[in-house]
Amino acid sequence: MRLRNNPKANEILENHKDIVVFNPNENKGKWHDVFGNDHPIYIEIGMGKGDFIIENAKTYPDINFIGIEKFPSVMVGALKKIDEEEPLANLRLMKVDAIELNDIFLENEVSRIYLNFSDPWPKKKHAKRRLTSETFLPIYQNILKRDGELILKTDNRTLFEYSLISFQQFGLQFEDVCLDLHHSDGYEDNIQTEYERKFSPFGPIYRIVTKFKG
Ligand code: SAM
């Protein structure tokens, strides 16, 4: 989801210092001080324009949410939505590539990681860029608490199947696998993402909930 380059994007980010965390690696091991409480930390990697993370922050005030996105021009979309909301003390955003997360979070600092509609990178030569590949799983394992969850949602059957195999090969434990999230019982609390709203009319949404074995 690379929007046309917005030359003012970095300036807009600078004007939201209350919500955008600059130099996030300075908070490594100290994220609870940023929020001023000991509530669990949930992160979304590749939050896009932020629909999911903003709605989560509104729905669950006792969880701290951090939205992570590598393109500032995309983050601007999230900031526009946040400007329309009441202030959300439990939400922060940062412009970071997932590959850097070990520099930003200490071991066991994160309670849940959401990967929503991650870029599928369909070419085999780009497989290592997929956010569910073995490139990223050791990073998630390091920053997640022992009982923490890694949750993937996607409409892309190929990425779904690839991720199942990648998780299984890495030794992840499957807590739940859903083949049609919007037409199955027990998922009424599902919060939709922007891509989910856009693509769910055309086919099933898959979801995988996993944990790293202790
Ligand atoms: N999660 C949103 C949703 O479901 O509507 C956006 C999905 S969009 C297809 C994927 C997003 O992930 C893009 O905004 C992209 O810039 C971001 N992204 C891809 N690779 C990333 C990485 N390595 N680190 C951080 N963000 C990444």
Residue 2 in any domain: the answer is: no
CATH number of the domain that residue 157 is part of: 3.40.50.150
Residue 148 located in a structural domain: yes
Does residue 1 form part of some domain? no
* DSSP three-state, residue 87: coil
What pLDDT does 213 receive?
84
| Residue having the nearest C-alpha atom to atom 6 of ligand 1 | 48
Is ligand 1 within 6 A of the CB of residue 68?
A: yes
**4 band by pLDDT with thresholds 50, 70 and 90:** low
Cβ neighbors of 211 (< 8 A, separation 6 or more) are 147, 148, 149, 150, 172, 173, 175
Beta strand 173-178 with 206-211 is antiparallel
136, 150 contact by CB (below 8 A): no
Does residue 178 lie within any of the structural domains?
A: yes
Assigned domain for 205 exists: yes
The rounded distance, in Å, linking the Cα atoms of 173 and 86 is 38
Is 119 one of the annotated active-site residues of the chain? Answer: yes
Q: How many domains does the chain have?
A: 1
Catalytic residue, candidates 83, 103, 119, 147: 119
Which ipTM value was assigned to this complex? 0.99
* Token code pair at residue 161: 């199947």
Contact present, 200 and 155 (Cβ < 8 Å): yes
State how far the Cα of 44 lies from the Cα of 50, in Å rounded to an integer: 9
Mean pLDDT score across all residues of the chain: 96
Domain contains 58: yes
Q: Which structural domain range is residue 181 located in?
A: 9-211
Indicate if ligand 1 lies below 6 Å from the C-beta of 116.
Answer: yes
184 lies in a domain?
yes
